[in-house]
Amino acid sequence: MSQILNWVKSNPISVLCLLVIVLACGSFVWPTRAQGRQFVEKLEQRSSKIGQIDNLIRTRRRIPPQNPDDEETDIWLTVNRAAIDRLKEIHQVMGTQYKEVFGILVDFNRRDDRIMFEGVFPKPVRASTPFNARDDHPEAYVRLLEGLGAGAPVDKEAMSQRVKEIIKDHALRTGESEARRSGVMDTELEENKRKELLSLIRGQAQSIQIYADPPYQDPTSSVWNTTVGSLTLGKWVHSSSPTMFELWEAQMALWIQQDIAEAIRRVNGAGDSESTVIGNPVKHIVRVKVPPLDDGGLVGLNIRDTDLAKKSDDSGFPNHSGRSRPDMSEDGAYTGSVTGRKCNALYDVIHTDVELVVDAMRIPELLKAFSEVNFITVIDMSIVDVDEYASMLDGYYYGDNDVVRLFLTLESIWLRRWTAGHADAEEAAEFGEPFVRGKMPDRVRQALGLEPREEDPTPEPLRSASRSGIR
């Protein structure tokens, strides 16, 4: 140790140089380490960005196999400008096809509007228009049945009168009075009665194409009965102050029954001179029942709380949006349609009950016709046998084939693109179409949760002093 100290004392210049070298090395190492850490951090950041870019360029996806029992396949998809441009082209083509197809569907659903009376929707052109429409509304159903070649069965009074004529004629031919023959009829007379009555009801069946009861009008009061007849008339025909909701309800009911009649017309070949009840698949329209829109008619909506049916005018309706009904009731029963369809922003759903007498072997023809006429789906069906002999006593003759009473529940779809029109001008421009206001009145729009078209959605009640006495 003493030797080292002596060397230091003897060589001060060497010691000083050594000290300078050590300090210089330390000052070099310290900043180099700090800069190294910064350099590593930058490299890590760059590596992370490169990884993100790589993920954009190459994305790994699992592709399901064609055979469900096989395993999925892992592939790398490369995303580049060409792929993006190609996807844009595909999306544009799909968008164009969607607009074209949707336009076709709207036209198919609309079927030339078929407005029951011009000037009523979406707002009457004058106060008297709804009353004029009310007077003509039942006539639309009369014309509908005429287009089907519909007719009534032989009246029981006519059959009774014919029986009396047969008895009288038989008594004259046998030299016996009616008094002596009352109560006991011989075999010959019974056979004559059977043949004559069969000829009578068969002749009527050959002269018409389908049995149906037209709307009934009371001849003493000129009031149409909405509960009698094969079809459902709008209840507003008895109102002296109809609301726009009642008018729209009647219009929807007419559209639905026109579609049902069109399906029957196609199946029966209405208009063909050879078409008769005896040979046609659909023999008898017993009843078509369209439910009120405010009482479950619009599937998935509950608008009864709006009191739309109870209002005598169009004032004071709240801006009420439709509320969806639950799919399941409290006891677990399914309350919606088996299709799962409900009213929504795209379309409205309405169920209709239909009761028909049909040739048992030709039911499929009718079911197919419904879907071809409009967006109609049979969601429920039941069949009951018909006693043909009992039907003959009521004046009906259905032919020699077996017939059944067919109960159907039909689900029809009504696209809002034409009933409610475009939401705004921007939506119309998006589809490349002129803006369509739609036929739906503001009161119905409010009940469905849509914005009214009018700036003031509370017009004066639809009353006319000159027609206030109409029942």
pLDDT tens string 96-138: 777 888 888 888 998 887 888 889 999 999 888 888 888 788 8
Tell me the three state secondary structure of residue 187.
helix
d(CA 258, CA 370): 11
State the total domains in the chain.
3
d(CA 362, CA 368): 11
In one-letter notation, the amino acid at residue 169 is D
194 inside domain: no
Q: Are residues 104 and 126 in the same domain?
A: no
Q: Are residues 25 and 47 in the same domain?
A: yes
Q: What is the pLDDT of residue 1?
A: 61
Q: Are residues 389 and 343 in the same domain?
A: yes
Q: Are residues 121 and 13 in the same domain?
A: no
Place of tokens 């399901």: 64
Q: What is the pLDDT of residue 242?
A: 81
Categorise residue 366: left if φ over 0, alpha if ψ from -120 to 50, beta otherwise. Answer: alpha
Q: 112: which residues sit within 8 A by CB, 6+ positions away?
A: none
Tokens, residue 260 = 């049902």
Please state the φ and ψ torsions of residue 357, each to the nearest 5 degrees: -105, 120
Q: Are residues 25 and 95 in the same domain?
A: no
Q: 121: which residues sit within 8 A by CB, 6+ positions away?
A: 115, 247, 248, 251, 439, 440, 441
400 inside domain: yes
187 inside domain: no
Q: What is the pLDDT of residue 56?
A: 57
Tokens, residue 41 = 């951090």
Rg of the chain on CA atoms, in Å: 41
> 96: domain range?
80-110
Q: What is the pLDDT of residue 8?
A: 56
193 inside domain: no
d(CA 414, CA 299): 12
d(CA 193, CA 18): 147
d(CA 370, CA 146): 20
Tokens, residue 59 = 């994305």
75 inside domain: no
Q: Are residues 412 and 354 in the same domain?
A: yes
Q: Are residues 132 and 27 in the same domain?
A: no
d(CA 399, CA 136): 36
Tokens, residue 395 = 């004046």
d(CA 260, CA 412): 10
Q: Are residues 90 and 105 in the same domain?
A: yes
Positions of the chain with pLDDT under 50: 28-30, 32, 179, 307-334, 455-471
Tokens, residue 207 = 């002269």
3-state class percentages of the chain: helix first, strand second, coil last, to nearest 5: 50, 15, 40
Q: How many CA atoms lie within 13 A of 424 on its CB side?
A: 2
Tokens, residue 397 = 């003759």
Tokens, residue 188 = 């010959």
* 461 contacts 334 by C-beta, under 8 angstroms: no
Tokens, residue 305 = 């709380």
Residue 276's nearest CA partner among 215, 213, 214, 203 is: 203
Q: Are residues 263 and 407 in the same domain?
A: yes
219 inside domain: yes
CA 241 to chain centre: 29
Q: Are residues 14 and 101 in the same domain?
A: no
140 inside domain: yes
266 inside domain: yes
Q: What is the pLDDT of residue 49?
A: 67
Q: 163: which residues sit within 8 A by CB, 6+ positions away?
A: 193, 197
Q: Across-strand partners of 406?
A: 356, 383
Q: What is the pLDDT of residue 197?
A: 87
Please state the φ and ψ torsions of residue 47, each to the nearest 5 degrees: -65, -40
Q: Are residues 250 and 344 in the same domain?
A: yes
Count Cβ atoms within 10 A of the Cβ of residue 240 and give its class: 0-12 exposed, 13-18 middle, 19 or more buried.
middle
Q: What is the pLDDT of residue 43?
A: 64
d(CA 256, CA 297): 12
Q: What is the pLDDT of residue 317?
A: 33
Q: Which residues of 410-434 are buried (b: 16+ CB within 10 A; e: fewer)?
A: bbbbbbbbbbbbbeeeeeeeebeee
Q: Are residues 352 and 395 in the same domain?
A: yes
Q: Which residues of 163-193 are buried (b: 16+ CB within 10 A; e: fewer)?
A: eeebbeebbeeeeeeeeebeeeeeeebeebb
